[in-house]
Amino acid sequence: MYRILIVEDDVTMAGAMKKELEAWGNEVECVQDFQDVISAFVAYDPHMVLMDIMLPCYNGYHWCTKIRQISHVPVVFISSASDNMNIVMAMNMGGDDFIPKPVDLTVMIAKIQAVLRRTYDLAGKIPVLEHKGAVLNLEDASLVYEGQRVELTKNEFRILQTLLENKGRVVSRDTLMTRLWQMDSYVEENTLTVNVTRLRKKLEQAGLKDFIATRVGSGYIIA
């Protein structure tokens, strides 16, 4: 069973596609807020996105570009603008296939299944952790925020991953030190402080001020 996110502002069409996809055993969600498609994408963590081109606020090309900054999940464009120029542009923007409108649901299912087989027979989806628009890619240890990519050291990545996995809960310094240096018999506690300080500086430079809070005597938290 796959999770499929539909980005389509025609409610009737989105509903028809959703019903057909669910009949084939998939989980399906339709985007409601077309000003913030990325938040819906990260929250739902889909295996595939069906993307209309003409959308309110920003077009499908814009959102495909944003998705490609944080994920390699397949994006299939669905549009009545099915001339060669738009098809080529859709592929160049990171699309994996193109389905013209009016949509033939039988053809849609066949194309979607083909793309899913190609994608997940070879490799799984790329896992991410997200908080307040900041997306941590667990595959390449990078952080993306508002289109800006932040490169992290191994220790910075492990600190941020641990805090995001426990967001809303205080993570003790001992827990972080164990996560970072499991193979070392002894590490000075100041080493953790230095790494957290450097990580905070990188986050602030990217626009994520006060992303990590200190709980004196307890540890750190992403609230």
8 Å CB contact between 161 and 129: yes
Query: What does the pLDDT read at residue 82?
Result: 66
**Residues β-bridged to residue 219:** 172, 215
**What's CA 150's distance to the chain center, in Å?**
15
Give tens-digit pLDDT for 93-110.
888 999 988 899 998 999
Query: What does the pLDDT read at residue 187?
Result: 55
Can you list the residues of the chain whose pLDDT is less than 50? 123-124, 183-185
Query: What does the pLDDT read at residue 208?
Result: 93
Query: What does the pLDDT read at residue 191?
Result: 83
Round to whole Å and give the CA distance between 140 and 152: 10
Amino acid at 12: T
pTM above 0.85, yes or no: no
N- to C-terminal Cα distance for the chain?
33
Query: What does the pLDDT read at residue 132?
Result: 83
Q: Which of 127, 106, 109 is nearest to 28 (CA)?
A: 109
The H-assigned helical ranges of 46-94 are 60-68, 84-92
